[in-house]
């Protein structure tokens, strides 16, 4: 059967909700994507190496804060989703959506090991007529240059016996205004027939599908989105440093500048970049660009500025302690507030808070953290030495023990009044205390 006929049959079945969708990786991307399919009446077979996630899905138990018990129970109660660690069952699905990590190695080069191992597993069970879609962020060319040769070890031919596409995830955990099915979905594929299959699949759950001319174009779209954020965050971080020395509040500047109805978009500074996208994705393009003889100086400069932010914050904290308390960081008791990389989530991936804690410990501080969503520091490759540290209690007696507090993540719902009453100095990297400036301004230093 030709791919065109395969595509026509696939589209008909997609429209009839007669496909079984396989989702590999039931994490921050794969779980809400699966939820979108089952909520719209599609059968989902989820795959993960973590049996605990599969058990949680079967039992309707949450394992992420932003996808709570009500949503997990709803997924279970549809009866449309099954989760398994048995990858031999990949032969049962009609579409395979790959949602696995794409980190950097120690040299800031792309680490596609999760993608390649996943494709090797798929190749063992691939059958004619299936659609394989990569959702993980990567450099242009990955779908056709990396994935296709591995999948073809099955003996089947890409674009002939089976279809491929690329559709970048656009998840924003904790965002109250958008979720998987309401965020437009970009789709690119090597051929028109493959693109038609992918568009039909996602059109069943996404409010708007945006087809582009190729898989490489779709891969470039995701990188462009995150490079845009990285560069603009670097810009305001640099402005923050300059304006601080001038005695100018960068947050006041940005709030006034954003009243201009055109030509300006507000970005806000912070203690560094976190999350699974912004600190990592730009370097995928930097690496690939070298193959074509290009040096991405703008991207690399932004990376340098953002990477430097934790050091700047600690230097600022040290000066503030000297000026306000006549104390050094060494031997002082420091409370870091917020371990997550952004507010209102329990996600610590690439969180600058972890780097801040490491830097404070290196300087001899006695460090504790508080995060209402993260009771224990998880094990990470870069910060293994602080794994197991437990969150402090938020009581007046406990807070009085600290010389200084450092706000790294501005979770909503934290009552800062007891903190400001108990701790002699609070260094704020998020402008979280702006409403307390009149009453406690002598205790607050922005960083």
Which tokens belong to 9? 């049959």
Average pLDDT over residues 12-37: 97
CA 401 to CA 380: how far, in whole Å? Answer: 28
Q: What per-residue confidence (pLDDT) applies to 66?
A: 87
Mean predicted lDDT score pLDDT of the chain? 96
Place of tokens 């949503």: 71
Query: What residue spans in the chain does CATH classification 3.40.50.720 cover?
Result: 3-213, 238-446
Report which DSSP code applies to 379: P
Q: In what order do the strands lie in the sheet with 366-370?
A: 366-370, 333-337, 404-407, 426-428, 444-446
Place of tokens 């069970």: 125
> Around Cβ 109, how many Cβ atoms within 10 Å?
13
Q: In what order do the strands lie in the sheet with 163-166?
A: 81-84, 43-47, 20-24, 95-98, 131-134, 163-166
Length of the chain: 447
C-alpha dihedral sign at 265, 266, 271, 276: negative
Outline where DSSP puts E strands in 144-266. Answer: 163-166, 185-187, 209-211
For residue 395, pLDDT beyond 80: yes
Q: What per-residue confidence (pLDDT) applies to 107?
A: 83
- Dihedral over alpha carbons 122, 128, 131, 134 (to 10 degrees): 30
Band of residue 172 on the pLDDT scale cut at 50, 70, 90:
confident
Closest of 357, 407, 365 to residue 383, by C-alpha: 357
CA 281 to CA 432: how far, in whole Å? Answer: 28
Q: What per-residue confidence (pLDDT) applies to 272?
A: 94
Residues belonging to the active site: 277
Q: What per-residue confidence (pLDDT) applies to 177?
A: 86
Say if residues 316 and 373 touch (Cβ distance below 8 Å): no
For residue 343, pLDDT beyond 80: yes
Q: What per-residue confidence (pLDDT) applies to 173?
A: 81
Outline where DSSP puts E strands in 75-176. Answer: 81-84, 95-98, 131-134, 163-166
Say if residues 164 and 201 touch (Cβ distance below 8 Å): no
pLDDT in tens, 66-110: 899 999 999 999 999 999 999 999 999 999 999 999 999 888 899
Q: Is the pTM of this model over 0.85?
A: yes
pLDDT in tens, 174-213: 788 888 999 999 999 999 999 999 999 999 999 999 999 9
Say if residues 446 and 270 touch (Cβ distance below 8 Å): no
Radius of gyration of the chain, Cα coordinates, nearest whole angstrom: 24
Helix, strand or coil for residue 98? strand
CATH number of 3-213: 3.40.50.720
Protein fold of 238-446: Rossmann fold (3.40.50)
For residue 1, pLDDT beyond 80: no
């Amino acid at each position: 059967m030709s791919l065109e006929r395969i595509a026509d049959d696939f589209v008909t079945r997609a429209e009839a909700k007669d496909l079984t969708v396989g989702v590999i990786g039931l994490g921050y991307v794969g779980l809400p994507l699966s939820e979108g399919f089952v909520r719209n009446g599609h059968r989902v077979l989820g795959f993960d190496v973590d049996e605990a996630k599969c058990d949680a899905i079967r039992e309707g138990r949450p394992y992420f804060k932003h996808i709570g018990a009500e949503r997990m129970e709803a997924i279970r109660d549809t009866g449309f989703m099954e989760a398994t660690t048995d990858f031999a069952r990949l032969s049962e699905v009609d579409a395979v959506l790959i949602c696995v990590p794409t980190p950097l190695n120690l040299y800031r080069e792309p680490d596609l090991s999760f993608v390649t191992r996943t494709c090797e597993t798929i190749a063992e069970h691939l059958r004619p007529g299936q659609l394989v879609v990569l959702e993980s962020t990567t450099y242009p060319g990955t779908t056709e240059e990396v994935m296709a040769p591995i999948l073809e070890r099955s003996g089947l031919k890409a674009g002939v016996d089976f279809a491929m596409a690329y559709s970048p995830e656009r998840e924003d955990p904790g965002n109250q205004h958008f979720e998987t099915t309401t965020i437009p979905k970009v789709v690119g594929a090597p051929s028109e027939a493959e693109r038609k299959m992918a568009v039909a699949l996602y059109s069943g759950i996404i409010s708007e599908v945006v087809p582009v001319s190729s898989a490489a174009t779709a891969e470039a779209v995701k990188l462009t989105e995150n490079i845009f954020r990285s560069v603009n965050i670097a810009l305001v971080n640099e402005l923050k440093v300059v304006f601080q020395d001038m005695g100018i509040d960068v947050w006041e500047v940005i709030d006034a500048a954003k009243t201009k109805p055109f030509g300006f978009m507000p970005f806000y500074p912070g203690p560094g970049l976190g999350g699974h996208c912004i600190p990592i994705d730009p370097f995928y393009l930097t690496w690939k660009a070298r193959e074509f003889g290009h040096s991405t100086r703008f991207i690399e400069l932004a990376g340098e500025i953002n990477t430097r932010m934790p050091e700047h914050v600690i230097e600022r904290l040290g000066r503030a302690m000297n000026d306000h308390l006549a104390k050094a960081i060494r031997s002082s008791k420091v409370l870091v507030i917020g371990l997550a990389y952004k507010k209102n989530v329990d996600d610590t991936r690439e969180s600058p808070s972890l780097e801040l804690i490491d830097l404070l410990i290196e300087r001899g501080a006695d460090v504790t953290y508080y995060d209402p969503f993260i009771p224990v520091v998880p094990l990470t490759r870069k910060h293994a030495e602080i794994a197991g540290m437990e969150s402090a209690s938020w009581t007046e007696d406990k807070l009085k023990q600290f010389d200084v507090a450092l706000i790294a993540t501005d979770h909503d719902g934290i009552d800062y009044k007891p903190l400001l009453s108990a701790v002699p100095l609070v260094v704020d990297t998020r402008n979280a205390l702006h409403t307390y400036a009149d009453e406690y301004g002598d205790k607050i230093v922005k960083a």
